[in-house]
């Protein structure tokens, strides 16, 4: 009690001891979760955007390369066309005789092929001596061919396939921006190379990029000079994006690279070279919108976290008060256990761990009282058993007084009866002598089953002489258990009970059967059965209940209860006597005990 009172101040501060760590952990977890989720989301957005750029570049590089390959295949197909070759030879070698027919045939072939390529604005064939375009394109004859951009492109071509820069071709009557793609070849017998050129419509190429990518980001196509030749949206108006486009489209430090992903300001951008062309595909997308959304989410999360912390502080303090109140009540009860009554119980309404603690405390007090009562009862029972055992030992000592005197007296009577030829008296006295000899057993408490059978058989012979033909008996015991030891006078009280309460009340011949066998578990089962008048069901039930409970009985049934009590005192409660059945066909009692061979201590 003094200890509890000295600790009362610390006990009352349990609320703060619980709430402070809980709140500190909760706030720390919220902050760590917020910062961690923000960092993870940032990394995820950057990784996702980089993957988007990578995927878009892969797709556009493959798509643009496929388009350029289609155009190159078309140009090569025109060159190997027999009709085109014949018309071209007539134009080159017989130009002064009939050039119109040859030019019209070449224009027709170019027009047919142009119709298969939506991105192509016009097609033409040129050399230093001539230029023939498709039928859909009007030529500007006021412009000198050798001073035109088409001729400069022809002169500057160094490989079989060549690419020009974007711009308006002044040799034709059109203002559309085009991107030239040409193919050079040699014609046998003609000294100069001939070129077939396809002018790609820049606006159509822009539209194609818009259809492929949409507005998710800016995709562009830059030529070998770093000039942007096509795009899905113009980069004008945003300095950072213009800088990114300029850096990706130009050569500078990226000139030796064929692909890459860089971050420029709020943009993530990538480039990739297109196959065997001097072009490179560009893709630029902004991370600013995602980061702004993330920042807004972070602000909302911070506000919600602050509100959650305030609510949590209030909730934890209130809950701690609810927890510590019952604990203080429990401490008060524990400090006054000396005044506690068994009927008093601590009560707690909620169904939680405190309820379990209260119930356990109440159960502990009830169990303590129960164990105290059990100890008192056990103490009284042991005292009673010791008293009964001392009385039994005293009676056994009385029964052993002058045993030799009894033996000698009975033997003298036996020989006198033999001399007088009184055989029945002689047999009766001899049986009585055997009965007393085994009954006394030189003071031993345990005898063999063989001696116990001889003892009860002597008793039955005496009773048979007394009752004459009214009593018969039969004994069947397995040979293997005859040397087992057991407390003496086990069977005789049962036989006596069968005679006096069963056979004597019966009209006609009575029969008593004694059997003994070894049970399946190795124990011994002895059975005494008669064909007497039996016991009424109510009496049988009462008898069985008293055998189980060990309750004391009246003098008439003392013998069988004494047998049951002695067996249980020697071997324990699982063993003992039980009444198997009783009715108009008689009664059967069974003794169940362990199988101990001779010489073994019980």
Of the candidates 269, 281, 165, which has an alpha carbon nearest to the alpha carbon of residue 217?
A: 269
The greatest distance separating any two alpha carbons of the chain, rounded to the nearest whole angstrom, comes to 185
Residue 515 included in any domain: yes
Q: Which two tokens stand for residue 547?
A: 């055998």
Backbone phi, then psi, for 550, in 5-degree steps? 80, 20
Q: Which two tokens stand for residue 360?
A: 């356990």
Residue-wise pLDDT tens digits, 75-121: 999 999 999 999 999 998 875 566 888 999 999 999 999 999 999 99
Residue 313 included in any domain: no
pLDDT of residue 483: 93
Q: What is the DSSP letter of 146?
A: G
pLDDT of residue 7: 46
Contact 167, 149 (CB under 8 A): yes
The alpha carbons of the chain give a radius of gyration, in whole angstroms, of 61
Of the candidates 445, 461, 456, 458, which has an alpha carbon nearest to the alpha carbon of residue 400?
A: 445
563/553 Cα distance (integer angstroms): 13
Contact 349, 329 (CB under 8 A): no
In this structure, the strands spanning 120-126 and 194-201 are antiparallel
200/121 Cα distance (integer angstroms): 5
Which residue, 181, 204, 227, sits at the end of a domain?
Answer: 204
This model's pTM is above 0.75: no
Q: Domain range holding 94? A: 80-204
Establish how many alpha carbons lie within 13 A of residue 5's alpha carbon, considering only the half-sphere containing its beta carbon. 4
Of the candidates 594, 591, 475, which has an alpha carbon nearest to the alpha carbon of residue 526?
A: 591
Residue 529 included in any domain: yes
pLDDT of residue 599: 65
Q: Which two tokens stand for residue 593?
A: 């005990």
Quote the number of domains for the chain.
2
Q: Which two tokens stand for residue 558?
A: 């003392």
- DSSP for 242-291 reads HHHHHHHHS-GGGTT-SEEEEEETTEEEEEEE-TTSS-EEEEEEESHHHH
Residue 115 included in any domain: yes
Give the angle 300-304-307 at the CA atoms, nearest 5°.
Answer: 145
The CATH number of the domain holding residue 182 is 3.30.450.20
Long-range Cβ contact pairs of 559-567 (< 8 A, separation 24 or more): 559/493, 559/494, 559/496, 559/497, 560/493, 560/494, 560/497, 560/589, 562/493, 563/489, 563/490, 563/493, 563/494, 563/591, 566/487, 566/490, 567/487, 567/490, 567/591, 567/593
pLDDT of residue 193: 95
Cα dihedral 112, 116, 117, 118 in deg (nearest 10): 100
470/493 Cα distance (integer angstroms): 19
70/77 Cα distance (integer angstroms): 10
pLDDT of residue 13: 57
Gap between the terminal Cα atoms of the chain: 52
Which residue, 143, 177, 204, sits at the end of a domain?
Answer: 204
Residue 520 included in any domain: yes
Residue 10 included in any domain: no
329/333 Cα distance (integer angstroms): 6
Residue 391 included in any domain: no
pLDDT of residue 10: 47
Measured over the CA atoms of residue 496, residue 502, residue 504 and residue 505, the dihedral's sign is positive
197/121 Cα distance (integer angstroms): 11
Of the candidates 133, 136, 137, which has an alpha carbon nearest to the alpha carbon of residue 125?
A: 133
pLDDT of residue 16: 67
362/464 Cα distance (integer angstroms): 66
Residue 497 included in any domain: yes
Of the candidates 372, 492, 476, which has an alpha carbon nearest to the alpha carbon of residue 441?
A: 492
Which residue, 185, 204, 223, sits at the end of a domain?
Answer: 204
pLDDT of residue 1: 44
Contact 106, 132 (CB under 8 A): yes
- DSSP for 490-554 reads SHHHHHHHHIIIIITTSSS-EEEEEEEEE-TTS-EEEEEEE-S----HHHHHHHHHHHHHT----
pLDDT < 50 regions, the chain:
1-12, 251-256, 394, 396-402, 404
The CATH number of the domain holding residue 545 is 3.30.565.10
């Amino acid at each position: 009690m003094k200890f509890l009172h000295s600790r009362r101040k610390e006990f009352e501060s349990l609320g703060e001891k619980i709430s402070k760590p809980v709140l500190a952990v909760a706030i720390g977890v919220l902050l760590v979760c917020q910062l961690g989720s923000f960092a993870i989301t940032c990394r995820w957005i950057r990784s996702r955007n980089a993957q988007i750029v990578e995927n878009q570049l892969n797709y556009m590089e493959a798509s643009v390369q496929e388009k350029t390959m289609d155009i190159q295949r078309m140009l090569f197909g025109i060159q190997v066309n027999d009709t085109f070759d014949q018309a071209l030879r007539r134009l080159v070698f017989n130009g002064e005789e009939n050039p119109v027919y040859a030019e019209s045939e070449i224009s027709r072939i170019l027009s047919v092929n142009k119709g298969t390529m939506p991105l192509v604005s016009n097609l033409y064939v040129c050399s230093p001596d001539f230029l023939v375009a498709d039928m859909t394109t009007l030529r500007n004859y006021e412009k000198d061919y050798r001073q035109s951009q088409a001729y400069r492109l022809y002169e500057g071509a160094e490989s079989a396939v060549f690419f020009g820069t974007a711009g308006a071709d002044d040799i034709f009557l059109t203002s559309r921006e085009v991107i030239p793609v040409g193919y050079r070849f040699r014609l046998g017998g003609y000294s100069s190379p001939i070129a077939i050129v396809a002018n790609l419509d820049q606006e159509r190429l822009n539209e194609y990029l818009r259809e492929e990518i949409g507005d998710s980001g800016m995709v562009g196509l830059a030529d070998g000079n770093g000039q942007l030749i096509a795009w899905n949206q113009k980069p004008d108006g945003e300095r950072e994006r213009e800088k990114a486009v300029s850096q990706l489209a130009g050569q500078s430090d990226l000139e030796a690279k064929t692909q890459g992903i860089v971050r420029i300001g709020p943009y993530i951008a990538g480039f990739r070279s297109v196959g065997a062309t001097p072009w490179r595909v560009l893709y630029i997308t902004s991370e600013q919108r995602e980061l702004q959304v993330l920042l807004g989410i972070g602000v909302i999360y911070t506000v919600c976290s602050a509100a959650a912390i305030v609510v949590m502080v209030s909730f934890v303090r209130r809950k701690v008060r609810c927890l510590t109140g019952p604990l203080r009540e429990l401490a008060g009860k524990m400090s006054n256990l000396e005044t506690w009554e068994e009927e008093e119980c601590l009560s707690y309404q909620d169904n939680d761990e405190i309820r379990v603690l209260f119930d356990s405390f109440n159960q502990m007090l009830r169990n303590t009282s129960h164990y105290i009562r059990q100890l008192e009862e056990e103490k009284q029972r042991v005292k009673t058993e010791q008293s009964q055992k001392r009385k039994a030992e005293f009676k056994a000592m009385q029964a052993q007084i002058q045993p030799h005197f009894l033996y000698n007296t009975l033997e003298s009577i036996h020989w006198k009866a033999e001399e007088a030829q009184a055989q029945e008296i002689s047999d009766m006295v001899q049986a009585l002598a055997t009965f007393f000899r085994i009954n006394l057993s030189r003071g031993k408490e345990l005898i063999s089953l063989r001696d116990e059978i001889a003892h009860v058989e002597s008793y039955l012979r005496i009773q048979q002489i007394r009752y004459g033909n009214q009593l018969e008996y039969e004994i069947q015991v397995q040979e293997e258990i005859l040397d087992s030891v057991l407390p003496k006078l086990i069977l005789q009280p049962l036989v006596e009970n069968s005679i006096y309460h069963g056979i004597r009340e019966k009209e006609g011949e009575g029969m008593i059967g004694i059997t003994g066998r070894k049970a399946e578990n190795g124990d011994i089962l002895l059975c005494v059965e008669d064909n007497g008048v039996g016991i009424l069901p109510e009496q049988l039930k009462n008898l069985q209940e008293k055998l189980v409970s060990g309750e004391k009985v009246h003098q008439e049934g003392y013998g069988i209860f004494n047998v049951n009590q002695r067996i249980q005192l020697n071997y324990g409660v699982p063993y003992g006597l039980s009444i198997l059945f009783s009715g108009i066909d008689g009664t059967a009692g069974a003794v169940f005990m362990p199988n101990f061979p001779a010489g073994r201590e019980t």
